[in-house]
Amino acid sequence: MKVLVAVKRVIDFNVKIRVKSDGTGVETGNVKMSMNPFDEIAVEEGVRLREAGTADELIAVSMGEAACQETIRTALAMGADRGILVETDPGLEPLAAAKLLAAIADKESPDLIIVGKQAIDNDCNQTGQMLATLLGWPQGTFASNLTLKDGKAEVTREVDGGLENVALTLPAVVTTDLRLNEPRYASLPNIMKAKKKPIDTMTPDDLGVDVTPRLTTLKVEDPTGRQAGVIVETAAELVEKLKNEAKVI
């Protein structure tokens, strides 16, 4: 069985986001970057499947500028066997990313694709669902548990009302939620070994995919700061303010 995981290079979750002075985007220069946390969970799940003997090969795929090789190397150090980098402009939209992944899936013929449910930079939560649609594969989103047996993927999904169990016929697409696993830290020996693992580089043109943006960002600005709270003396005063000032009742 071959498993493919997608990994995205994003601003580290510990970094405070700063908007550029001209309002064209967020500042990424001299900012710490790391793998999207949900994608770390996807890599960890793929590694566990390979360690259990369920999967034979784990491939990490990333899309963006050349620096995305660092993110792939992190996945390789965690246990992935090889990487694929699609060099393109940063800021790839979810549909373009899904099309590139679908094209790679056509070339690699994986039995399972695992992606993070969303990226922490744009929070779109779209790529996995779009990918499954483009491939015509079943999908299990927001997975908190994944079991493979008898040619099926049994997925426990986190939904608004609780948990939902679905059985997917392979090949399938699974998107990871936080409770699926706890990603491991890459050991120093594995980091050194990852430097020797192969990374294939290609472009959208090589895959025959048009990644032209469909959306135009007009302006990026910081959210309005929260106003200071007000202490009220009585419940009646609270109701009056909620009704006449906040206008929520």
pLDDT in tens, 141-194: 999 999 998 889 999 999 988 999 999 999 999 999 999 999 999 999 999 999
Residue 242, in any domain of the structure: no
Determine, yes or no, domain membership for 223. no
Provide the phi-psi class of 20: left if phi over 0, else alpha when psi is between -120 and 50, else beta: beta
Q: Report the DSSP pairing between strands 139-149 and 152-159.
A: antiparallel
* Contact indicator for 174, 112 with CB cutoff of 8 Å: yes
Helices (H), the chain: 37-51, 68-78, 94-108, 127-135, 188-194, 204-207, 235-244
2-6 vs 112-116, strand pairing mode:
parallel
Q: Is residue 244 part of a domain?
A: no
Residue 173 within any structural domain of the chain: yes
pLDDT band for 23, please (50, 70, 90 cuts).
confident
Three-state DSSP class for residue 42: helix
| pLDDT above 90 for 80 | yes
Give me the number of domains the chain comprises.
1
Q: What percent of the chain has pLDDT over 70?
A: 100
Residue 229 lies in a domain: no
CA distances from 142 to 126, 138, 148, 165, 229 (A): 12, 14, 16, 11, 36
pLDDT band at 21 (very low <50, low <70, confident <90, very high): confident
CATH code of the domain containing 40: 3.40.50.620
pLDDT > 90: percent of the chain: 79
243: tokens are 């009704």
Q: Looking at the domain assignment, is residue 113 inside a domain?
A: yes
Give 158's DSSP letter: E
Structural domain boundaries enclosing 21: 2-218
Residue 85 lies in a domain: yes
Q: Does residue 70 lie within any of the structural domains?
A: yes
- pTM for this prediction: 0.87
Predicted pLDDT at 118: 94
